Structure 1
Amino acid sequence: MTKQHVRLDRTPRWIRVRFGEETIADSKQAIVVHERGHLPVYYFPEADIRTDLLTQTSHSTYCPFKGDATYYSIQAGGRTSENAVWRYRDPIPGSDGEGLKGYYAFYWDRVDHWYEEEEEIFVHPRDPYKRVDAIASARHIRIVLDGEVLADSRRPVIVFETGVPVRYYLPKEDVREELLTATDHATSCPYKGDAVYWSVNAGGRTHENVVWSYPSPIPEIPKIAGLLSFYNERVEVYVDGEREPEPQWHRSALDFFNASEIRADGVTTP
């Protein structure tokens, strides 16, 4: 069976993009593009784009699954965002990306705001093939690093997230906080919110940014508020007395559409 490299899905969500106090894209006909090894990307039909605020540049790229991409800068509100927009004017005939003709896409971090319906969203589109479940458990979780026990809990909240290793969120009272040092590292997740981090001092060494927490997660996942979690791939995790194997996970929704392509690449966000 031929493997699919690009998948196009229509989304029923109302999507808007703003830059320089202007709404650059406003669409209820957007599509979500899944591409192997990449995060989902919203593409908008030309009729829903303020093309009058775009200026074509000399920049171009080539994708063997879609074709040649043409780039545009945005000029709005007295500001310019260089090469923030692209489109495949003439996608490769018969390719997975052929349906992108007439659509434009934006670099997420080269515009000011993204909205799904009336909610602002962050980092990247929420993948319709991704699910995040936070479930209270009575499993016995023990976290060990360099021979030192960092946490021991029988009341974890276990987060099952499509495409990511299972994560164990533990009450602070069950974690040896004296071994943790807060850092200024921070990340954002469109499914959970903004995370803060700690390094761990164990075995005479400092292990940077091994632990994180979502102090104020988004309303969809309140159960993990204030709990601490560890990178499974950087510590030893014991569940009910048995050590967990090294985590294996997918990077792209296309890995689920093509089950023979199960991958174990190193994703570094929680």
Structure 2
Amino acid sequence: MTVAPRWEPSERWVRGRRGDLTIVDSRRAILVWDSPTPVPRYAFPEADVRTDLLRAAGERFDLVIGDGTGPDAARYIALPWSAAEHWYEEDEEIFVHPRDPHKRVDAIPSSRHVTVEIGGVTVADTRAPVLVFETGLPTRYYIPRADVRLELFEPADLRTGCPYKGTAGYMSLREPGDAPPNIVWSYAEPLPAVGPIRGLLAFYNEAVDLTVDGERLQRPVTHFSRSLGH
């Protein structure tokens, strides 16, 4: 059964640029959630999109039809993220996908006692973590580098982007045993909203043993679990 997309208007000024060309410039964007995609994408009134440039570049785009009610009902174009090299909400560049207005990310310094074990070996022990509470994900515990046994890890080639936090770099265990690669990550230059995590290290709860204030946490099952082999 086909499920109709869920959408809502956005009051943000959204622009997409490729080189020196503006592909889209709109103050009338809508956010669209296409099942089963868990993250939104932007759709724009056709008049706000340079469709001639998209066709010239061989880009694919989809049409989203409004419900036909009210004077503002119109045909909207839902662009793939690759349609532009750089996307902006107001004057701030955004990455990976539009930020979901129903998702919240809070980075809060704490004095909880957090330890991390991998294969029975304690690799981190801190009383100065930063806890990141992100809608739909388990709490992540970011740990100062001074409280991590860095000699056990080596830099990895992996880099990932997050629209809420920025670009992350990864490390893997030098002697991984049964542990998956890229088990720890860090944001060297996080977005301002999560500034307290700058340079701190976080471990996948799904693949390590976390103890918080003396209580061993159960390993969660998330969409990361499969790629981690857990």
| Bucket of the pairwise TM-score, normalised by the shorter protein | 0.7 to 0.9
Which residue, out of 186, 205, 208, partners 2:181? Answer: 208
- Displacement, 1:178? 0.7
User: Is structure 2 residue 189 aligned with structure 1 residue 189?
Assistant: no
Which residue, out of 62, 74, 83, partners 1:86? Answer: 62
Are the structure 2 counterparts of residues 247 and 204 from structure 1 closer, same or farther at C-alpha, using a change threshold of 3 Å? Answer: closer
**Which residue is 1:235 aligned to?**
208
**Which residue is 1:47 aligned to?**
47
% of aligned pairs identical? 48
**Which residue is 1:61 aligned to?**
none
CA–CA distance in structure 2, aligned partners of residues 159 and 182 of structure 1: 23
CA–CA distance in structure 2, aligned partners of residues 241 and 202 of structure 1: 27
- Displacement, 1:202? 5.1
| Contact 1:14-1:28 at 8 Å conserved across structures | yes
CA–CA distance in structure 1, aligned partners of residues 107 and 201 of structure 2: 13
CA–CA distance in structure 2, aligned partners of residues 153 and 214 of structure 1: 18
Paired residues for 1:1-270 under 5 Å? 6-38=5-37, 39-54=39-54, 73=55, 75=56, 80=57, 82-88=58-64, 102-201=75-174, 204=177, 207-247=180-220, 264-266=222-224
SS in 2 for 1:220: helix
CA–CA distance in structure 2, aligned partners of residues 34 and 228 of structure 1: 32
CA RMSD of aligned residues (A): 2.5
CA–CA distance in structure 1, aligned partners of residues 15 and 206 of structure 2: 37
Aligned length in residues = 221
CA–CA distance in structure 2, aligned partners of residues 37 and 15 of structure 1: 24
SS in 1 for 2:52: helix
CA–CA distance in structure 2, aligned partners of residues 203 and 219 of structure 1: 33
Structure with the largest fraction of strand? 1
CA–CA distance in structure 1, aligned partners of residues 15 and 48 of structure 2: 9
CA–CA distance in structure 1, aligned partners of residues 36 and 8 of structure 2: 17
AA in 1 matched with 2:153: L
Instruction: Calculate the TM-score normalised by the size of structure 2.
Output: 0.87
AA in 2 matched with 1:111: A
- Displacement, 1:265? 3.7
Instruction: Calculate the TM-score normalised by the size of structure 1.
Output: 0.75
**Which residue is 1:70 aligned to?**
none
| Contact 1:159-1:167 at 8 Å conserved across structures | yes
**Which residue is 1:67 aligned to?**
none
